Chain A
Amino acid sequence: MSSERPMAETRDVVIVGGGHNGLVTAFYLAKAGFKPLLLERRAQVGGAAITEEFHPGFRCSTLAHNTGPLRADIVRDMQLERHGLKLTTPDVSTVSLLPDGRALVLYSDARKAAQQIALWSQKDAASYADFGAALGKIGKVIGEALLLTPPNIDNPNSGDLWGMLKTGRSIRNLGKKDLYRVLRWGPMAVADLVAEFFDTEPLRATIAARGIFGTFLGPWSAGSALVLLLRAAAEPSPNPSPAGRIQFPAGGVGAITLAMAAAAKQAGAEIRTGADIAEVRIKDGVATGVVLTSGEEISARAVVSNADPKRTLMRLVDPAHLSPDFVQKIKNYRSMGTVAKINLALSALPEFTALKAGSQSNSNGDLLRGRIQISPEIDYLERAFDESKYGNFSRHPYIEITFPSLSDPSLAPVGEHVMSIYMQYAPYKLKNSDWESQRIALGETVVKTIAQYAPDLPQTILRHQIITPKDLEETYGLTGGHIFHGELALDQFFTMRPLLDWARYQTPIERLYLCGSGTHPGTGLTGGSGANAAREIAKALKK
């Protein structure tokens, strides 16, 4: 019987999974004086924040292709720059392509952006600043909530009360107008929200796209405004750009997690790759360690899982250790992915009709250095969503493109490029079909869609890498292929992420904790969940 096998010495804390949040948790726990051992199934750490060579000489941010953005205090504490992280912010944040051959160009600098918008509508140019300012004020308050450990609703402890009080105070300080905005905007459809500010359809759609990204929502779905607010809140800026700033790390997004790993190691964490966890060992409702697929057992004082809640509590933990009611709720935790990723190795930069030199100043591809979106109008996005509701991927998808090789030429051979493409909607569950048989069709749809805006793209393609939601689940361990470890929605947010009563990084299994994006705040590549979790876990373990 395996439990009789002699065990390695008892570890302090074992962290399951080396995604960015796992690494952040490892760092902060090490800082707090623990000796965390982080175990990553794959050959490299980074989870969904990795750079891989997918074609000889071509390296690409395999999944995430820009920062969340990272929380400033985490970058500071981990000294990520010193560990080799180099972030660049392109002048152009977003270029939105239109079928009529025009393009809406939004600069990272709010003032420059307004100048461009003025070409479409003077009124919208003014509103753009107003909206940015409002997002700044509201974002600051929500930003504070993102730092909090969600309070215990039943019997809040003093810390909770203090946190709620602080947020409560800063909410009041917003003043009546913005306070009501917070209350009103959260549950709104993002299409309604942008319509309150802008008349220009492409501008509306380009901004609204932030509210649907990574979710199973369309721009007309109530609650999509919350996603936009959360992403704005992650932007540490007095007046964030409504279209969102974008930052690229030299070396692709993987460079972030490599720097994090270096920081964690230096702080005293140990990291092992190629270590696949078969199960979390549990004795009398207490986590006592992990068992690897190799059969090796590692016992520990505490186990922290960076894996998503479903994977952790339904696969790594034997549900027999959980109440049927809890299992039912975790089953109901919504994590149906809608995003696919296509990476292309290109022999040359494609020429976008709308961005031909002359039509817009696009000398040496300056306009391609940010995010390029295909989101021409709200209804286009909503129709793309409609198809996914019935289990088909969008024939005319929402697309977000970046060229990592423009911010870091070393990612591709001289003169050649890598093109990183988010495609939405690609529902995890296909109606009477499966992703293996749809993989090629998906790639073709994406290339065909982009080719309408850049006709020469097909001729420049050397290699496709097509990552379906199924791949996201199987290769990268994201249950349901959900890039946020579970839907970002009002019913799965803050004190309800992942579940009401279990939003404080603990689980019903004593000494088993969660630190992934399936916990608050859980919005993309920010490190927020990992940092919050480490704080709580350290507190709990020091008791």
Chain B
Amino acid sequence: MPSVARGTKYDVIVVGGGHNGLVNAAYLAKAGKKVLVLERRHVLGGAACTEEVFRGFKFSVCSYVVSLLRPEIIRDLDLPRHGLEILPLDGTFTPMPNGDHLWRVNDHGKTHREIARHSRVDAEAYDEFGRAMQAMCRFVKPILSMIPPDPATLNPKELMKLLFIGRRFQGMSSEDKYNQVQLMTMSAIDFLDQWFETDVLKATMSASGIIGTFLGVRSPGTAYVLLHHYMGEIDGAFRAWGFARGGTGAISNAIADAAREAGAEIRTEAPIAKILVKNDVKNGRAVGVVLGNGDEIYADVISSSVDPRLTFTKMIEPGNLPDEFMEGVNRYKFRGSSGKVNMALDGLPDFKCMPGVGAHLRGAMSISPSVEYMEKAYDEAKYGHWSSHPYIDMVIPTLTDTSLAPPGKHILSCFVQYAPYKLAPGLDWDTEKEKFGDSVVDTIAQYAPNIKNIILHRQVVTPLDLEREWGLTEGNIFQGELSLEQLFFLRPVAGWAQFRSPIKNLYMCGSATHPGGGIMGAPGRLAALEILKDGAA
């Protein structure tokens, strides 16, 4: 009884209903295309999903805070009308083993005084640093909404793009140039060392330089990721992070809603087995997909939001693609390095260094007590062990959004690094999983001992789970490392950074394309614009 769908033909089939796939679909549908989104799982959103893992507790299972979502997308898709509401996440609280703490909040005066408590010099430098970072963001932001140029062609349009970047660079003050260059090349710590002297401040700030990468805070290149996370913009305020009411899944649902309103059709539990390629042109031409159940659905354009490894080695018949391209695909680095531990709590954690329920619990709580602590966590991972003393970024969304848990109960969402996808010989994630979870709880307990007594349920998400359940190859949350050699016109494959692929009418629109990961939506949008430009659909 297959081929229910036989006959129905779409302009575009979007592979995967993650936030980028949905953004891609929404833009194409708004442009009048007949779009079908196919999602393997029962929920939409990919890694930006909310699931009731335990009765009454709605977890943002993977991605848990939002900041990078492009304002033009929020505007174009009118997401607030479709239910998107961003709730503020104020500040970062870093407990220290010596009983002290560092608590930075959005209130400038407070933060200034707090940092001055550790170092007056740093308090001053902190303001300058913020200004410098904003200048950097202003330089990089337009690049985020730009189709990467192809430096290997002589096509004047491409060269103009390069020139545009060059001009913008020239346009900066030599101070900003100096910072920009360092930011693109240095390690987070080398960079921060130039500004600050307080170890805990550097440690906790450097954390955003390593999130989702298999790099340490001392690895060159991490300074850029620092910026990537600084770019967060909500209501125009730089560096603003927040929760989506209803969890990050609510973001995906809002986008999906916008897409449907524009006429897109969205199916869940519709896994794709193969992308159909017709060999009537060089390297072939994508003409449709085959579902897991054998159904074939046809379309003029296939837009894949899953990563290149899945798209080109799992969904495409081998032999359809040029060797050089496949080399690039197979070389593309994933190397997941992080995990999630989500807990249902009977109460709130009580920090030794700041007892009681306070505003510090409403923001992010960061276990990043020292630079050495951060780097040692990385060292373990390099040799295939999850960090026995990991970097942890925690939030308690239920203090901001009570709809997520039963009254009086809470959710503790912990992002944990490092949890290397590839473990040392003799170790495997299925047996390490709960040990890993235990060590996370132990680590938190060193700062908030009561944690152990208030855990009702615990969900551990390993890189292997991210791969199996969410289709993130090697558990990389960005669909591929954000390292210099995999950015901009090199993402995901040198020469193929413009969302197209060697196969005609097969496009890429996921985080593995420029400008990369995070709930940003930019890849989905840019890919849609390219598809429309080609008039392929």
The chain A residues found within 8 Å of chain B, CB to CB, are 153-154, 172, 176-177, 179-180, 183-188, 192, 196, 217, 220-223, 325, 328-329, 332, 334, 379, 382, 386, 389-390, 489-491, 496, 499-501
Contacts and interface: CB of A to CB of B under 8 A. Distances in A.
Contact of B220 (A223, A325, A379): A223
B484 interface: yes
12 contacts: A179-B152, A183-B490, A217-B220, A222-B483, A328-B194, A332-B194, A334-B190, A390-B372, A491-B181, A491-B185, A499-B178, A500-B181
Given A180-B495, A188-B485, A386-B379, A489 B185 contact: yes
Contact of B331 (A186, A196, A499): A196
B403 interface: no
A185 B151 contact: no
B494 A183 contact: yes
Contacts, number: 86
A154 B170 contact: yes
A530 B56 CA distance: 72
Interface string B480-493: 00011100011000
Contacts of B54: none
B382 A220 contact: yes
A390 to B, nearest CB: 6
B445 to A, nearest CB: 26
A184 B490 contact: yes
Contact of B185 (A185, A382, A490, A499): A490
B182 interface: yes
Interface core residue of B169, B178, B375 (most chain A CB under 10 Å): B178
B152 A180 contact: yes
B10 to A, nearest CB: 34
Given A176-B495, A222-B215, A379 B383 contact: yes
Contact of A187 (B151, B185, B379, B382): B185
Interface string B152-185: 1010000000000000011000110110011011
**Main secondary structure on B side of the interface with A:** helix
A325 B148 CA distance: 34
Given A187-B221, A389-B218, 6 more contacts: A222-B219, A223-B221, A390-B372, A390-B375, A489-B220, A490-B184
A382 B382 contact: yes
A188 B490 CA distance: 12
A423 to B, nearest CB: 21
A390 B374 CA distance: 12
A179 B181 contact: no
B40 interface: no
B107 interface: no
A183 B151 contact: yes
A184 B483 contact: no
**Main secondary structure on A side of the interface with B:** helix
A184 B485 contact: yes
Interface core residue of A221, A222, A223 (most chain B CB under 10 Å): A222
Contacts of B151: 179, 183
Given A221-B219, A500-B177, A187 B331 contact: no
B280 interface: no
Nearest to B489: A183
Contacts of A153: 169-170, 177
Contacts of A389: 218, 375
The 6 lowest CB-CB distance pairs between A and B, nearest first, are A187-B484, A180-B494, A490-B185, A491-B185, A222-B221, A223-B220
Nearest to B484: A187
Nearest to B153: A176
Nearest to A431: B372
A496 B383 CA distance: 34
Contacts of A222: 215, 219-221, 483-485
Interface core residue of A172, A180, A328 (most chain B CB under 10 Å): A180
A184 B221 contact: no
Interface in B35-80: none
Contacts of A496: 181
A97 B194 CA distance: 40
B148 to A, nearest CB: 12
A196 B327 CA distance: 10
A501 B170 CA distance: 12
A196 B190 CA distance: 28
A58 to B, nearest CB: 40
A489 B178 CA distance: 15
Contacts of A489: 185-186, 220
Contacts of A499: 178
Contacts of B169: 153
Interface string B312-343: 00000000000010000001010000000000
Contacts of A334: 190
A328 B125 CA distance: 13
Contacts of B383: 379
A474 B48 CA distance: 57
A376 to B, nearest CB: 15
A17 B194 CA distance: 30
Interface core residue of B152, B154, B194, B324 (most chain A CB under 10 Å): B152
Interface in B331-363: 331, 333
Contacts of A187: 185, 220-221, 483-485
Contacts of A172: 154
A180 B194 contact: no
Nearest to A188: B485
A188 B484 CA distance: 8
B170 A491 contact: no
Given A185-B485, A196-B331, A501 B174 contact: yes
A179 B495 CA distance: 10
A310 B185 CA distance: 21
A325 to B, nearest CB: 8
Nearest to A332: B194
A500 B483 contact: no
Interface in B101-159: 151-152, 154
A490 B220 contact: yes
B152 A176 contact: yes
A496 B194 CA distance: 16
A130 to B, nearest CB: 12
Interface string B380-395: 0011000000000000
Contacts of A180: 152, 490, 494-495
A386 B333 CA distance: 23
Given A180-B152, A184-B494, A501-B174, A491 B182 contact: yes
Contacts of A154: 170, 174
Contacts of B174: 154, 500-501
B152 to A, nearest CB: 4
A154 B220 CA distance: 26
A192 B178 contact: no
Contact of B178 (A188, A329, A386): A329
B220 to A, nearest CB: 4
B333 A192 contact: yes
B16 to A, nearest CB: 27
A196 B219 CA distance: 20
B396 to A, nearest CB: 34
Interface in B453-494: 483-485, 489-490, 494
A1 to B, nearest CB: 37
A386 B484 CA distance: 22
B61 to A, nearest CB: 30
Interface in B14-37: none
Contacts of B490: 180, 183-184
A192 B219 CA distance: 14
Interface in B236-269: none
B256 to A, nearest CB: 36
Nearest to A195: B331
Interface core residue of B185, B215, B483 (most chain A CB under 10 Å): B185
A154 to B, nearest CB: 6
Contacts of A220: 219, 382
Contacts of B185: 187, 223, 489-491
Interface core residue of A172, A185, A223, A334 (most chain B CB under 10 Å): A223
Contacts of B221: 187, 222-223
